[in-house]
């Protein structure tokens, strides 16, 4: 084409496309859900803009927020169009080729080892999955602010963009044309396509129509035509021009042929493939587990094998009304803690009265719960204000508070229902053991335990609730995880404090001289081995009226009748030691110890100073 401008794909994108095009990956279906998801995102965007500016929608067909799919067997072509926001020329260049998303190289790497393309949508490069089935793709797009353009590529390292002077004007939105590879012919089968849309796009909140053929009885149709002629013309403004024209062509054909009773005729019409009732508006009692799983898949763009660990669907009433669905994903995203302090993004989608507003609303959940996926739909928030205004709306505080409570309840429930949890009363009754729930809390803890700890540090209001969710190993936990409640239930009657020790790993801690005496006397000591635990223990002062005592720090109180006696008889020696060590400013005091058994002496850190482990952590950080 004479007016085409050529561009090269960014290197990462090019690598990704090579992998996709050469992939032997069998589940090629995923291209369709990625395209539909993009169309839906684009529709969400224009609808959002239209809240504050009605003009953006335009008029006539342009106001129809829907997705249309057409199949052309002869040309081996699938086209998917939306009336979404569209892309300007610049958008086409940036979004489809020259700027790789941050996750691209991580995904490419993963692809080379595991080869599972199923997660492509999570990495923000879902569009390129079109090359699983097509060898040539055209993207025709019209944005309100620009002319209509065509992007095209044969996945050979380059793409071209031209001003569109030959296709029909789209009005607004995007049409993607996939020129299928020979071996992808199955996607031209209407029934296959319908099944796929049903399977993957059940939760798309815009109507998806397929230009579908239908066999009808010619005779019956002729009769129908006569009787409903008038109605049809009066309705014709309602929808598809193309539908109208094709049926009238058929009519002409028919007149030439003699009518016989048995003649079948093929007509085309737009067939609605999805039911757009939002799942979160339904009664939670009527939604099945399977439906929630599918909803999670769509919402989180996570089509992995595993089901979400838990879900919570509720309806908040009162001053602030909203509906919400929360999910705990089956695994932590690859960069959950990497970007923890830099990003503020929650993974909740915010809707106001069924209209999608944003999925980058950090006011909905605190950082430590950013691993949750889900959505909130509020009737209380105003619809026709800017995002900035919404962000400051007073109802958000109430929503956030309730979401946190529900999220923590949902997490606690995993533990309550897990037969492996020692606290669980149900553990003895064989019948009630639910194998699906077995071991789930350990799984949760391994994936997201760190988030709970960060929560204890950050969220003073919910500190106690979060502390209940803590798990750790101890001198008595026998290699398993245990909780503070379990620890307390095992405490010795005269024991006042909860004992813990921090260090780089359990093996090293088990040998610590600080534990000698405590172990011998039967006291349980918690092992904290994660660097974050040191920070955690600066915030977690007590639990259920019991103080925490680091056994390597000053202040350890255990009952020992002999100590008084020993103090007396070694008075002179301690005094001498104190004098001898006074020169070194590192030693504050010398005392008779109640924590040792075989080891003659040990250096204890002061109550308010850093533990030796903390010193180690700080040193490794400054290196």
Residue 455, interface with ligand ADP (CB under 6 A)? no
Q: Is 127 annotated as a binding residue?
A: yes
Q: Which two tokens stand for residue 581?
A: 């060590």
Closer Cβ to Mg ion, 84 or 126, answer by number: 126
Q: Is 125 annotated as a binding residue?
A: yes
Q: Residue 292: CB partners within 8 Å, gap ≥ 6?
A: 279, 308, 311, 313, 325, 327
Looking at 29, 82, 302, 418, which residue binds ligand ADP (CB under 6 A)? Answer: 82
Q: Is 483 annotated as a binding residue?
A: no
Residue 103, interface with Mg ion (CB under 5 A)? no
Task: Supply the minimum distance, in Å, between the C-beta of residue 13 and ligand ADP.
Answer: 10
Q: Which of residues 112-131 bind ligand ADP (CB under 6 A)?
A: 124-127
**DSSP at 167:** S
Task: Tell which phi-psi region holds residue 60, choosing left (phi > 0), alpha (psi between -120 and 50) or beta.
Answer: left
SS3 label, residue 328: strand
Q: Is 159 annotated as a binding residue?
A: no
How many other C-beta atoms can be found within 10 angstroms of the C-beta atom of residue 515? 22
Instruction: Name the one range near Mg ion by CB under 5 A: 38-46, 142-150, 196-204, 220-228.
Output: 38-46
Q: Which two tokens stand for residue 573?
A: 């020696």
Q: What is the distance between the terminal CA atoms of the chain, rounded to a whole angstrom?
A: 58
Closer Cβ to Mg ion, 125 or 456, answer by number: 125
Q: Is 87 annotated as a binding residue?
A: yes
Helix axes 190-200, 30-52, angle to 10 degrees: 60
Helix (H) or strand (E) holding 547: strand 546-550
Task: Tell which phi-psi region holds residue 159, choosing left (phi > 0), alpha (psi between -120 and 50) or beta.
Answer: beta
Residue 38, interface with ligand ADP (CB under 6 A)? yes
Pairwise CA distance, residues 36 & 16, whole Å: 21
Pairwise CA distance, residues 264 & 186, whole Å: 24
Q: Give me the sheet containing 67-72, strands edge to edge.
A: 5-8, 158-163, 148-153, 134-142, 173-180, 77-82, 67-72, 208-217, 264-272
Looking at 84, 97, 126, 308, which residue binds Mg ion (CB under 5 A)? Answer: 126
x/- map, 41-80, ligand ADP, by CB under 6 A: xx--------------------------------------
Q: Is 123 annotated as a binding residue?
A: yes
Choose among 103, 95, 112, 100: nearest CA to 18: 112
Looking at 9, 30, 32, 38, which residue binds Mg ion (CB under 5 A)? Answer: 38
Pairwise CA distance, residues 546 & 620, whole Å: 32
Looking at 87, 130, 348, 515, which residue binds ligand ADP (CB under 6 A)? Answer: 87
Cα distances from 349 to residues 247, 323, 359, 364, 406, in angstroms, run 42, 12, 4, 9, 16
Closer Cβ to ligand ADP, 348 or 404, answer by number: 348
Task: Supply the minimum distance, in Å, between the C-beta of residue 120 and Mg ion.
Answer: 9
DSSP assignment of 468-489, as one string?
A: HT--BEETTSTTS-B-HHHHHH
Residue 122, interface with Mg ion (CB under 5 A)? no
Closer Cβ to ligand ADP, 263 or 336, answer by number: 336
Instruction: Name the one range near Mg ion by CB under 5 A: 33-41, 84-92, 137-145, 289-297.
Output: 33-41
Task: Supply the minimum distance, in Å, between the C-beta of residue 67 and Mg ion.
Answer: 14
Binder of residue 174, out of ligand ADP, Mg ion, none (CB less than 5 to 8 A by kind): ligand ADP
Looking at 14, 23, 63, 95, which residue binds ligand ADP (CB under 6 A)? Answer: 95
Pairing of strands 525-528, 473-474: antiparallel
Pairwise CA distance, residues 102 & 255, whole Å: 60
Helix axes 531-539, 440-458, angle to 10 degrees: 60
Instruction: Name the one range near ligand ADP by CB under 6 A: 33-41, 457-465, 510-518, 610-618.
Output: 33-41
Q: Which two tokens stand for residue 478?
A: 């026998």
Residue 84, interface with ligand ADP (CB under 6 A)? yes
Closer Cβ to ligand ADP, 130 or 604, answer by number: 130
Instruction: Name the one range near ligand ADP by CB under 6 A: 82-90, 276-284, 351-359, 378-386.
Output: 82-90
Q: Is 86 annotated as a binding residue?
A: no
Binder of residue 202, out of ligand ADP, Mg ion, none (CB less than 5 to 8 A by kind): none
Return residues touching Mg ion (CB under 5 A).
38, 126
Enumerate the known binding-site residues for ATP.
34, 38, 82, 87, 95, 101-103, 122-127, 174, 387
Return residues touching ligand ADP (CB under 6 A).
34, 38-39, 41-42, 82, 84-87, 95-96, 124-127, 174
């Amino acid at each position: 084409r004479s007016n085409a401008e050529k561009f090269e794909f960014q290197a990462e994108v090019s690598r990704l496309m090579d992998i996709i095009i050469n992939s032997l990956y069998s589940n090629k279906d995923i291209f369709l859900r990625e395209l539909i998801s993009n169309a839906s995102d684009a529709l969400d965007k224009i609808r959002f803009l239209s809240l504050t500016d009605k003009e953006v929608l335009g008029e006539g067909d342009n106001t129809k927020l829907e997705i249309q799919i057409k199949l052309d067997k002869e040309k081996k072509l699938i086209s998917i169009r939306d009336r979404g926001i569209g892309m300007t020329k610049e958008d086409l260049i940036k979004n489809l080729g020259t700027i790789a998303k941050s996750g691209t190289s991580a995904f490419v790497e993963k692809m080379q080892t595991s080869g599972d393309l199923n997660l492509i949508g999570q990495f923000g490069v879902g569009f390129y999955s079109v090359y699983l089935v097509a060898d040539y793709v055209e993207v025709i797009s019209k944005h309100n602010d620009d002319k209509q353009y065509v992007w095209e590529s044969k996945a050979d390292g380059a793409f071209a963009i031209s001003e569109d002077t030959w296709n029909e004007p789209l009005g607004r939105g995007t049409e993607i044309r996939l020129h299928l590879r020979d071996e992808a012919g199955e996607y031209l089968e209407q029934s296959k396509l319908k099944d796929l849309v049903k399977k993957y796009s059940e939760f798309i909140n815009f109507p998806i129509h397929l230009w579908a053929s239908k066999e009808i009885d010619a005779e019956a149709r002729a009769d129908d035509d006569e009787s409903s002629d008038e109605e049809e013309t009066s309705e014709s403004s309602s929808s598809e021009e193309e539908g109208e024209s094709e049926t009238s062509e058929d009519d002409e054909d028919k007149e030439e042929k003699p009518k016989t009773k048995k003649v079948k005729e093929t007509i085309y019409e737009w067939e609605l493939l999805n039911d757009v009732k939002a799942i979160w508006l339904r009664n939670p009692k009527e939604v099945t587990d399977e439906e929630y799983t599918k909803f999670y898949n769509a919402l989180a763009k996570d089509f992995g094998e595993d089901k979400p660990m838990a879900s919570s669907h509720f309806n908040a009433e009162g001053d602030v009304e909203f509906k919400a669905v929360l999910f705990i994903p089956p695994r932590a995203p690859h960069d959950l803690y990497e970007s923890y302090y830099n990003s503020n993004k929650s993974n909740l989608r915010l809707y106001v009265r069924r209209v999608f507003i944003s999925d980058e609303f950090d006011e909905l959940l605190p950082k430590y719960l950013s691993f949750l996926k889900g959505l909130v739909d509020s009737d209380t928030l105003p619809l026709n204000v800017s995002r900035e205004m919404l962000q400051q709306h007073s109802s958000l505080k109430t929503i956030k508070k309730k979401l946190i409570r529900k999220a923590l309840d949902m997490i606690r429930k995993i533990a309550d229902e897990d037969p492996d949890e020692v606290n669980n009363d149900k553990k003895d009754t064989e019948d009630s053991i639910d194998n699906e729930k077995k071991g789930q809390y350990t799984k949760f803890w391994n994936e997201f335990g760190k988030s709970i700890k960060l929560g204890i540090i950050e969220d003073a209001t919910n500190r106690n609730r979060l502390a209940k969710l803590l798990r750790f190993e101890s001198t008595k936990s026998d290699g398993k995880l245990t909780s503070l409640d379990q620890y307390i239930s095992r405490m010795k009657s005269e024991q006042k404090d909860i004992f813990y020790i921090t260090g780089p790993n359990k093996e090293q801690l088990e040998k610590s001289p600080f534990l000698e005496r405590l172990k011998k006397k039967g006291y349980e000591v918690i092992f904290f081995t994660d660097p974050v635990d040191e920070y955690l223990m600066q915030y977690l002062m007590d639990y259920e009226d019991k103080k925490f005592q680091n056994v390597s720090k000053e202040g350890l109180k255990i009952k020992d009748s002999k100590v008084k006696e020993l103090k007396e008889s070694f008075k002179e020696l301690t005094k001498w030691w104190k004098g001898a060590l006074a020169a070194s400013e590192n030693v504050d005091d010398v005392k008779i110890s109640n924590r040792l058994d075989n080891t003659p002496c040990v250096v204890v850190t002061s109550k308010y100073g850093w533990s030796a482990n903390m010193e180690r952590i700080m040193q490794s950080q400054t290196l």
